[in-house]
Structure 1
Amino acid sequence: MATEKFEKGLDTRREVLGADYVNASIENADEFTMPLQQLVTEYCWGDVWQREGLSLKVRSMLNLAMITALNRPHELKLHVRGALNNGLTREEIREVLMQTAIYCGVPAAIDSFRVARAVFEEVDAASKD
């Protein structure tokens, strides 16, 4: 059963990550994975991302750094797109990743630069269509 927090979370999640991705995540969830989708949507997107104190842009910056530190390229790709949606420039994304090179390690930052560049190429190709 969808709660108000779940619905608010879905709205924010769609705003940041894109409706196609989020809708597919929910639609493709099965009996095993739906509890995780509900948890992520309610508590990550419906609670923490809804809090006052940090803008969506700052939250995206933090996510890029933390996901780089955790070496999670699939999630990083998703959050690079989200960062662009939240108003970060490519230069700001680059600077976040440069910061991670020093504090998280050069190999992690190199992988993150590769992922970010691939997202930028996809975005550029889509904008030409």
Structure 2
Amino acid sequence: MDDLQRRGTAIREEVLGTGHVARARAGVTAFDAPFQELITEAAWGRVWARDTIPLRERSMLTIALLAALGQDAELELHLRATARTGASEADVMEALLHVAIYAGVPRANHAIGIAKRVFAERAD
């Protein structure tokens, strides 16, 4: 494993949790291994690992983008990750208010429903 893979894996585990990363790795096949390598290096090792903004802000940006694009499964994953990134429920709402203005009320409304469910499950 090269340095970019190590750094990407470390930040991915910090944000998503070691359990999630272990489950993702366990499911890797020869077919999707190149994709997993790409996201570990590019998304996690190059972008998320940068020290220009903290994880909290990266988390909020990611949530806003995923909500705007309607990527529900990834949105849910990153909403769960806020417990580790430091983004609060109030931070998430601020991000989703921006989604409403810049990407549309229906996208934000749908994402708010997902966030309410995720945060309620976390509170149980």
Flag whether TM exceeds 0.5 (same fold). yes
Q: Pairwise CA RMSD of aligned residues?
A: 1.1
Question: Residue 117 of structure 2 aligns with which residue?
Answer: 118
Shift of residue 14, structure 1, vs aligned partner: 0.8
Shift of residue 84, structure 1, vs aligned partner: 2.9
Letter in 1 for 2:21: V
- Partner of 2:87, secondary structure, is coil
For residues 115 and 33 of structure 2, what CA distance do their matches in structure 1 show? 29
- Mark the runs of 5 or more structure 1 residues left unpaired by the alignment: none
Shift of residue 95, structure 1, vs aligned partner: 1.4
For residues 85 and 114 of structure 1, what CA distance do their matches in structure 2 show? 21
For residues 18 and 24 of structure 1, what CA distance do their matches in structure 2 show? 10
Shift of residue 96, structure 1, vs aligned partner: 0.9
Correspondence list, 1:1-129, <5 A = 2-125=1-124
Letter in 2 for 1:70: L
* Superposed structure 1 runs of 4+ greater than 4 Å apart: none
How many residues are aligned here? 124
Q: Return the TM-score normalized by structure 1.
A: 0.91
Shift of residue 83, structure 1, vs aligned partner: 2.4
Q: Return the TM-score normalized by structure 2.
A: 0.94
For residues 73 and 96 of structure 2, what CA distance do their matches in structure 1 show? 16
For residues 76 and 29 of structure 1, what CA distance do their matches in structure 2 show? 21
- Mark the runs of 5 or more structure 2 residues left unpaired by the alignment: none
Letter in 1 for 2:2: T
Shift of residue 3, structure 1, vs aligned partner: 1.5
For residues 95 and 75 of structure 1, what CA distance do their matches in structure 2 show? 19
Residues 10-62 of structure 1: CA deviation (Å, up to 9, x unaligned)? 11101101111111111101011111111101111111111121111111111
